[in-house]
Amino acid sequence: MDIKSNFKKTKYYLKRYGILNTIKKILKRILRIRENKKSNQEQYEIWRNKNKYDLEKQKNTEFSYSPKISIVVPMYKTNMKFFEELINSLKNQTYSKWELCLADGSPEKNKEFEKIIENNNKIKYKFLGKNEGISENTNEAIKMATGEYIGFLDHDDTLSENALYEIVNCLNKDKSVDFIYTDEDKLDQNYMYFDPYFKPDFSPETLECNNYITHFVVVKKDLIDKIGMLDSKYNGAQDFDFVLRATEKSKKIVHIPKVLYHWRVHRESTAFLPDTKPYAFEAGKRAVEAHLNRIGKKANVEESQDVPGAYKINYEIVGNPNITIIIPNKDNIKLLKRCINSILKLTTYKNYEIFIIENNSIKNTTFKYYKKIAKNTKIKILNYNKNTIMDLNGERKLELDNNENSKLEFNYSSLINFGVKNSKSDFILQLNNDTLLLTPNWLEIFIGYAQNKEIGAVGARLYYPDKTIQHAGIILGINGIAGNALVNLPYGKHAYFGIEAITRNVSAVTGACLFCRRNLYEEVGFMDNKKFKVAFNDVDFCLKLLERGYRNIYNPYIELIHYESKTRGYEDSPEKIKRFEKETENFRKRWSKLLQNDPYYNPNLSRKTVNYDIKTEE
């Protein structure tokens, strides 16, 4: 990587993490002291050793509520060895009130199975005599179930010994829970546990684009009675269809962030070659389409070209809403011109306007450029400090008064608020002047998501000029504050379970490119221009939306280059550093609870890095 690029990223680190951490990082580089980056497997082995449970204590626990859990398993030509291990994983459970319901669609009975399960009144076995497919075989197992809750297990997988204990422990905290899912890992032929999937809490938009829930799922029997069993129309993605239907009707969904399910990897398993079953991806696509139809949303669903089993949703736009793109600017016409030209050249949606918020520019070339672009009816230059709109005949007063205190300091929140208050559009797009648009239909994608009343802010995938990732959503709690996910991930390289390429729920997105309905600014009291003049105003704004029940989204299909922080500069003076530290402290105080546990991250993932590394530190 060249010196110029390293310099930019050093400045980024300074801005996000402060001068002390930056100095430490530079010293490490100079002294060639490199952190020994452990492999994912090494991290996981450390994590497993640190996360052991007192199984004897669990066995002796007496719950006030002790429901029976029925584990349903569809069987077909089941491997004998795998079957024994499945049975043993149930027998070793620290919670004992369970039953196992086996529906066997194999062409012939396996007498060895009967020997293993005979004289065990917790196991129900039914030989079907014919194979009806995974959905119908599972349904036959469900019909045998007598438990209050149903857990789904594949015939070659196993559960951790504490799996059912953790489920019942959850139910004792809240009996209204009717849908539970957990984290999982994989198990190979050498009995190595690997590739853990540490999942977020329930994320509706993530689920629509990718069945991240998968295993282990436990559902209240009453919920199944309400929604129906598995549907064979979706064989290959029958679990995805079921999860979508169940979560649509569930009263309360809980994620247990513990690895309770082990997905076996062998040559016949989906875990071994997940992309070899195209019929499953097609079935998943139809399952998503059916889901969207049930909840009354019109959209076109496409299979992702990047991640097998992921989907891109293109929502139909309701009406012809208008958009105001707000771009703060101080001089730097080269950057602004590149940004504006890319918007005017590429954008396919027509009903938009651009507000350039002029803030303390001093160069004549800047105002000459303003005069030139003001000829375009889509562009207005709003002079923040003079409270005027510039046009070809000079300047005229704004129709709305700016009640905020205009000073010569840079106050990003005030600039955005000024633009929003002087806009009458349905939607607002905050955009930095140091960005370059790459996606022609970006506004259509933005509107498609943001028009839904439950959605708050929508963000994009941003790259550094070298096409490494600069922003793919924001993670709370990184170094005790917050940080952009997957910074420096090379272009074309997949991150943790391909999340950089999947539309997903996040707690926050960067204000460098943030889209939402205009009325939401009014609802949350606009951006905080007192406590967050420069730093964390975007994250604070998103968390205010989250606090009110809205969901924020990262959409990877909207792509821009971001020449970060060119306009306002970096925290490179005592005054700026002091301000940054104050705003950091304000942020920590206001959002201390969320910083401890980002609902769209996972407590088992590190807060020291942004790469979804497994947490190995104390």
Judge residue 582's burial from the number of C-beta atoms within 10 Å of its C-beta, 0-12 exposed, 13-18 middle, 19 or more buried. middle
Are residues 340 and 219 located together in one domain of the fold?
no
| pTM listed for this prediction | 0.89
How many domains are there within the chain? 2
Are residues 247 and 339 located together in one domain of the fold?
no
CA 548 from chain centre, in angstroms, equals 18
Q: What is the CATH number of the domain that holds 218?
A: 3.90.550.10
**pLDDT confidence bin for 4, thresholds 50/70/90:** very low
Average pLDDT over residues 608-613: 94
Are residues 112 and 251 located together in one domain of the fold?
yes
User: DSSP assignment, residue 318?
Assistant: P
Mean pLDDT, the chain, whole residue set: 90
Instruction: Provide the strand spans (E) within 466-566.
Output: 469-471, 474-476, 482-484, 504-506, 513-517, 551-562
The DSSP bridge pattern shows strands 394-397 and 504-506 to be: unpaired
Question: Which amino acid is it at 453?
Answer: K
Q: What pLDDT score does 267 carry?
A: 59
Is 601 within the bounds of a domain? no
Are residues 112 and 228 located together in one domain of the fold?
yes
With tokens 């297990």, the residue in question is 153
Average pLDDT over residues 132-149: 96
Q: What pLDDT score does 112 carry?
A: 85
| CA dist., res. 65 & res. 101, Å (int) | 22
Are residues 421 and 569 located together in one domain of the fold?
yes
Q: What pLDDT score does 313 carry?
A: 97
Residue 328, sorted as left (phi over 0), alpha (psi -120 to 50) or beta, turns out to be: beta
Q: What pLDDT score does 291 carry?
A: 98
What are 301-323's pLDDT values in tens digits? 999 878 889 999 999 999 999 99
What are 26-81's pLDDT values in tens digits? 655 554 444 456 888 999 999 999 999 999 999 999 999 999 999 999 999 999 99
Are residues 331 and 272 located together in one domain of the fold?
no
Q: Which of 208, 448, 430 is nearest to 318 (CA)?
A: 448
At a CB cut-off of 8 Å and minimum separation 6, what does 402 contact? 384, 387, 418, 421, 422
With tokens 């926050």, the residue in question is 508
**pLDDT confidence bin for 397, thresholds 50/70/90:** low
SS3 call for 83:
helix
Average pLDDT over residues 518-547: 96
With tokens 């924020």, the residue in question is 552
What are 447-504's pLDDT values in tens digits? 999 999 999 999 999 999 999 999 999 999 999 999 999 999 999 899 999 999 999 9
Q: How far are the Cα atoms of 450, 451, 518 from residue 426, in angstroms, in the given order?
A: 10, 9, 6
Is 604 within the bounds of a domain? no
- Flag whether pLDDT at 289 surpasses 70: yes
Are residues 231 and 121 located together in one domain of the fold?
yes
Is 576 within the bounds of a domain? yes
For residue 381, list its beta bridge partners: 356, 390
| CA dist., res. 11 & res. 26, Å (int) | 11
What value does the CA radius of gyration of the chain take, rounded to a whole number of Å?
27
| CA dist., res. 328 & res. 419, Å (int) | 9
User: DSSP assignment, residue 498?
Assistant: G
**pLDDT confidence bin for 1, thresholds 50/70/90:** very low
What are 173-188's pLDDT values in tens digits? 999 999 999 999 999 9
Helix (H) or strand (E) holding 387: none
Are residues 253 and 329 located together in one domain of the fold?
no
Is 515 within the bounds of a domain? yes
**pLDDT confidence bin for 275, thresholds 50/70/90:** very low
| CA dist., res. 327 & res. 471, Å (int) | 18
Q: What is the CATH number of the domain that holds 440?
A: 3.90.550.60
Q: What pLDDT score does 606 carry?
A: 95
Is 26 within the bounds of a domain? no
Dihedral angle at the C-alpha atoms of 44, 46, 48, 51, nearest 10 degrees?
A: -130
What secondary structure does DSSP assign to 12-68, as a single string?
HHHHHHHHHHHHHHHHHHHTT-------HHHHHHHHHHH----HHHHHT---S----
- Flag whether pLDDT at 568 surpasses 70: no
Q: What pLDDT score does 273 carry?
A: 46
Are residues 114 and 253 located together in one domain of the fold?
yes
Q: What pLDDT score does 396 carry?
A: 66
Share of the chain above pLDDT 70, in %: 87
Average pLDDT over residues 511-535: 96
Contact (Cβ atoms closer than 8 angstroms) between residue 309 and residue 210: yes
**pLDDT confidence bin for 391, thresholds 50/70/90:** low
Is 378 within the bounds of a domain? yes
What are 342-352's pLDDT values in tens digits? 999 999 999 99
Is 127 within the bounds of a domain? yes
Is 491 within the bounds of a domain? yes
The DSSP bridge pattern shows strands 123-127 and 98-104 to be: parallel
Q: What pLDDT score does 165 carry?
A: 98
221-225, 278-282, 403-407, 527-531: range with lowest mean pLDDT: 403-407
- Angle between helix axes 574-590 and 537-547 (nearest 10 degrees) is 10
The whole domain housing 82 covers: 56-277
Share of the chain above pLDDT 90, in %: 79
| CA dist., res. 308 & res. 285, Å (int) | 11
**pLDDT confidence bin for 245, thresholds 50/70/90:** very high
Helix (H) or strand (E) holding 168: helix 163-173
SS3 call for 218:
strand
The DSSP bridge pattern shows strands 149-152 and 123-127 to be: unpaired
- Flag whether pLDDT at 268 surpasses 60: no
Judge residue 130's burial from the number of C-beta atoms within 10 Å of its C-beta, 0-12 exposed, 13-18 middle, 19 or more buried. exposed
Q: What pLDDT score does 393 carry?
A: 60
Question: Which amino acid is it at 48?
Answer: R
**pLDDT confidence bin for 119, thresholds 50/70/90:** confident
What's the token pair of residue 471?
């922003």
**pLDDT confidence bin for 392, thresholds 50/70/90:** low
Q: What pLDDT score does 306 carry?
A: 84
CA 262 from chain centre, in angstroms, equals 23
SS3 call for 6:
helix
With the C-alpha atoms ordered 36, 40, 46, 47, is the resulting torsion angle positive or negative? Answer: positive
Dihedral angle at the C-alpha atoms of 578, 579, 584, 587, nearest 10 degrees?
A: 150
Q: What pLDDT score does 6 carry?
A: 56
For residue 104, list its beta bridge partners: 75, 127
Are residues 269 and 327 located together in one domain of the fold?
no
For residue 150, list its beta bridge partners: 70, 219
What are 418-456's pLDDT values in tens digits? 999 999 999 999 999 999 999 999 999 999 999 999 999
Contact (Cβ atoms closer than 8 angstroms) between residue 73 and residue 86: yes
Q: Which of 435, 452, 451 is nearest to 325 (CA)?
A: 435
Are residues 134 and 222 located together in one domain of the fold?
yes
**pLDDT confidence bin for 576, thresholds 50/70/90:** confident
Contact (Cβ atoms closer than 8 angstroms) between residue 255 and residue 243: no
What's the token pair of residue 585?
């402290």
- Flag whether pLDDT at 235 surpasses 50: yes
DSSP 3-state helix, strand, coil percentages of the chain (rounded to 5)? 35, 25, 40
Are residues 359 and 273 located together in one domain of the fold?
no
- Flag whether pLDDT at 8 surpasses 80: no
